[in-house]
């Protein structure tokens, strides 16, 4: 019996995520959106690709949540997207209301599910999901670090003309301008990145990774990134469904790790069938630890605004 994944939001991120999961055939998918006909049409289109791809998975679209019942994983992508000139934080209160409504429904129909939060501002939305769901903190995780790390690794591989597989790196912290690439542990085939790229150029690459989402928004004008985000989501879904115990940079609830308490922040996580099963504490230098805590402070500011709303 195939496992079940619900994707809430049939926009570009959600629909592409649903398509990627369906293509692989290991899970049935329910695609949910409030726009009548949108998830049904996209789901049917994806379903009809099954004979070509060799996928016997099922996918349905729905405007209500009954069809999501007993999902193993729920991916929340719904919310308004950024437009040029907007920061992720500009979306806060609107998306807080959307995520609240979604989590109330999905946690009711799938009380044992693991939720992956994608809606921006992502770290704050994960905090809101925990509050609304009543789930244990490890059952709520956010997709951010994988995407930020992928952008960082992409630019490093391009700079050095090497395979992306040869670049090992982590990006921690909040999903936004305060994200923290861990320079000291970044390496190419074991060689520290600081020995391969001079500091000024490396900082330019780091900044491009921080601005990776905005760069795409500025190109698209009427939308935001979805190919790399959906691939990042699927990596998390697979780690959970297959109980891989894979260590991935995710937004997770910290309870004293890295000196941060009661807050969702991007850190390395052992991801398996129980969700964020362990927080991995990297040895950070003073500058990196300070940057991570500053990033956490930015997340805390958003959480405080939500609490007052």
Indicate the pTM of the whole model.
0.95
**Does residue 218 sit in the same domain as residue 106?**
no
**Does residue 74 sit in the same domain as residue 187?**
no
Could you give the CA distance from residue 218 to residue 38 in angstroms, rounded to a whole number? 26
Give the three-state DSSP class for 240: helix
Q: How many beta carbons lie within 10 A of that of residue 24, not counting itself?
A: 14
Give the residue-averaged pLDDT of 43-59.
98
**Known catalytic membership, residue 175:** yes
- The domain boundary, picked from 107, 142, 177, lies at 142
Domains in the chain, number: 2
pLDDT tier, 197 (very low <50, low <70, confident <90, very high otherwise): very high
CA 235 centroid distance within chain: 10
**Does residue 101 sit in the same domain as residue 158?**
no
* Phi, psi angles (nearest 5°) of residue 80: -80, 145
Least confident range from 22-31, 172-181, 252-261, 281-290: namely: 172-181
Q: Is the pLDDT of residue 30 over 70?
A: yes
Instruction: State the DSSP H helix or E strand holding residue 276, giving kind and residue range, or none if neither.
Output: strand 275-279
Task: Check residue 90 and give its pLDDT.
Answer: 79
Q: Is the pLDDT of residue 44 over 90?
A: yes
- The domain boundary, picked from 109, 142, 175, lies at 142
User: What is the token pair recorded at 46?
Assistant: 């994806």
HEC string of 89-124 equals: HHHHHHHHHHHHHHHHHHHHHCCCCEEEECCCCHHH
Task: Check residue 82 and give its pLDDT.
Answer: 66
User: What is the token pair recorded at 14?
Assistant: 């959600």
Could you give the CA distance from residue 194 to residue 179 in angstroms, rounded to a whole number? 19
Q: Is the pLDDT of residue 269 over 70?
A: yes
> What CATH number has the domain bearing residue 290?
3.90.110.10
Task: Check residue 108 and give its pLDDT.
Answer: 97
**Does residue 83 sit in the same domain as residue 29?**
yes
Percent of the chain with pLDDT over 70: 98
Question: Strands (DSSP E) along 18-121, which ranges?
Answer: 27-32, 59-62, 73-76, 114-117
Task: Give per-residue pLDDT as tens, 114-124.
Answer: 999 999 999 99
Give the residue-averaged pLDDT of 204-217.
93
Percent of the chain with pLDDT over 90: 89
Q: Is the pLDDT of residue 12 over 70?
A: yes
Q: What is the CA radius of gyration of the chain?
A: 19
**Does residue 92 sit in the same domain as residue 184?**
no
Instruction: State the DSSP H helix or E strand holding residue 168, giving kind and residue range, or none if neither.
Output: strand 167-168
pLDDT tier, 222 (very low <50, low <70, confident <90, very high otherwise): confident
| Residue 73 belongs to domain spanning | 3-142
* Phi, psi angles (nearest 5°) of residue 263: -145, 145
- The domain boundary, picked from 113, 142, 171, lies at 142
Task: Give per-residue pLDDT as tens, 58-99.
Answer: 999 999 999 999 999 999 999 987 667 766 667 899 999 999
Q: How far from 49 is each of 25, 43, 59, 152, 225, CA to CA, in Å?
A: 11, 10, 11, 33, 24
Residue of 20, 115, 151, 175 marked catalytic: 175
> What CATH number has the domain bearing residue 50?
3.40.50.720
């Amino acid at each position: 019996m195939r496992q079940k994944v619900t994707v809430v939001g049939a926009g570009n991120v959600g629909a592409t995520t649903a398509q990627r999961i369906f293509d692989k055939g290991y899970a049935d998918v329910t695609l949910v959106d409030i726009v009548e006909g949108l998830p049904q049409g996209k789901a049917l289109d994806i379903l009809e690709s099954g004979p070509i791809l060799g996928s016997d998975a099922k996918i349905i679209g729905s405007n209500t949540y009954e069809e999501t019942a007993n999902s193993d994983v729920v991916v929340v992508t719904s919310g308004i997207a950024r437009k040029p000139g907007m920061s992720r934080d500009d979306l806060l209160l609107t998306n807080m209301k959307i995520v609240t409504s979604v989590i109330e429904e999905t946690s009711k129909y799938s009380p044992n599910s693991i939720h992956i939060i994608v809606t921006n501002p992502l770290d704050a939305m994960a905090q809101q999901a925990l509050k609304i769901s009543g789930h244990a903190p490890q059952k709520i995780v956010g997709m951010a670090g994988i995407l930020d790390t992928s952008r960082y690794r992409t630019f490093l591989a391009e700079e050095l003309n090497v395979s992306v597989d040869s670049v090992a790196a982590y990006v921690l912290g909040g999903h936004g301008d305060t994200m923290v690439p861990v320079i000291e542990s970044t390496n190419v085939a074991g060689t520290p990145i600081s020995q391969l790229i001079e500091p000024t150029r490396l900082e330019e690459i780091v900044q491009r990774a921080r601005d990776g989402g905005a760069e795409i928004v500025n190109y698209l004008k009427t939308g935001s990134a979805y190919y790399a985000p959906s691939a990042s989501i699927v990596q998390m879904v697979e780690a959970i469904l297959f109980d891989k115990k894979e260590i991935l940079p995710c937004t997770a609830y910290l309870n004293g790790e890295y000196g941060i308490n009661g807050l969702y922040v991007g850190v390395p996580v052992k991801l398996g069938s129980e969700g964020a099963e362990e927080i991995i504490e990297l040895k950070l230098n003073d500058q990196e630890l300070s940057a991570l805590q500053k990033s956490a402070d930015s997340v805390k500011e958003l959480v405080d605004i939500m609490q007052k709303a």
